[in-house]
Amino acid sequence: MIAFMLAAGCVAVALLHAYRLAVPARADMVAGVGRWDQARGRASRVQRIGTVEAGTFSERLARSIAEQFSRRSRDLTGLNQNLAIAGTTLEIHLSKVLTFALAGLLGPIAIFTVLGVAGLRLPAPFAPAAGIALAGVMVVVAQRELQETARKLRTEFRRTLSIYLDLVAMSMQAGRGHAEALPAAAAIGTGWAFTDISDAIHGARFSGITPWAALGRLGHRLGVPELSDLEGSLRLANDDGAKVKATLVARAGTLRAQRIADAEADANQATESMKFALIVMVFVFLAYELYPSIARLFAG
């Protein structure tokens, strides 16, 4: 029964692939250009991050799946932003998702096979159904893990951005211009967020754009709206030194207040968690102390 269901699934996949080859989707030039741009950026990240040896079967399979996934999907902006800030690529992420899915699919089948050999007979469709369900759960878990990692990294990036703008504001108040203060402040800090900011600002010189335009591009790539808002505010300053200084100082104050508010919210949440744990401990202690008396009362 299991072999028949697996064979039927393979035949269905083959028929679906043959239908797609016979009736291809109409080409969308705008989407094609977007996919080409995403593939170029993905290739640069692959070269920077490093993958398995070029030309291996696993790399070719991952690249083929990533290309098909990008071609069939309409909007991958959110996924690409999560991948960019997590420091990974679509190929690596899809390989991880497929590994989790195969483990979830084959795990219950192997377990039920062992139980069948041991003498515990279960309905034949139960093992494939459990495998398919667990495979779906594993795919969702992999996606949630990526989203949670991206959320934590964006929170860390926002805090770093607030510190960076404080450094820029102090540097400009000390007499430096924005053209000197922006790269100098980025060179002071350490960590991946400061490195990304520094790379974006130094790359703006070779690209012929302003530093805030480069920061806006970085914000769009990583999914950090604060950088895009900063670009919009500085663009309105129209490269006027006094206006740029005032805008940077005001933005630094806003992000500093937001960072303090986030820290207070985290502290309040930690306090509430400690209170809840203390209440649970008190109830457990009272139950432990009063249970013998209550048991004797109802027994007598």
Comparing 11-15, 50-54, 96-100, 231-235, the range with the smallest average pLDDT is 50-54
Q: For 76-115, what is each residue's pLDDT tens digit?
A: 778 888 888 888 888 788 888 888 888 888 887 787 777 7
- Mean predicted confidence (pLDDT) in 27-46: 52
Instruction: Please name which of 49, 61, 53, 60 lies closest in space to residue 88, comparing C-alpha atoms.
Output: 49
Q: How far is CA 250 from the centre of its chain?
A: 30
**DSSP secondary structure of 136-186:** HHHHHHHHHHHHHHHHHHHHHHHHHHHHHHHHHHHHHHTT--HHHHHHHHH
Give the domain ranges of the chain. Answer: 159-259
Q: What confidence tier does 49 reach under pLDDT thresholds 50, 70, 90?
A: very low
**SS3 of 196, please?**
helix
Query: Tokens 């996924």 correspond to what residue?
Result: 79
Residue 276 parent element (H or E): helix 241-299
Residue 126: how many other CB atoms lie within 10 Å: 11
- Mean predicted confidence (pLDDT) in 51-79: 65
Q: How far is CA 103 from the centre of its chain?
A: 22
Q: What is the DSSP letter of 230?
A: H
What's the chain's average pLDDT?
76
- Mean predicted confidence (pLDDT) in 172-196: 83
Q: For 155-166, what is each residue's pLDDT tens digit?
A: 889 888 888 888
CA 143-144-148 angle, to 5 degrees, is 120
Cα–Cα distance for residue pair 295/222, rounded to 1 Å? 61
Alpha-carbon torsion (284, 289, 292, 293), positive or negative? negative
C-alpha distances in angstroms, 111 versus 1, 105, 106, 133? 16, 11, 9, 15
- Mean predicted confidence (pLDDT) in 51-66: 60
Of 79 and 68, more confident: 79
Query: Tokens 């200084």 correspond to what residue?
Result: 245
The reported pLDDT for the residue numbered 8 is 61
**SS3 of 12, please?**
helix
- Buried/exposed code over 35-45 (b: 16+ C-beta within 10 A; e: otherwise): beebbeebeeb
The reported pLDDT for the residue numbered 47 is 47
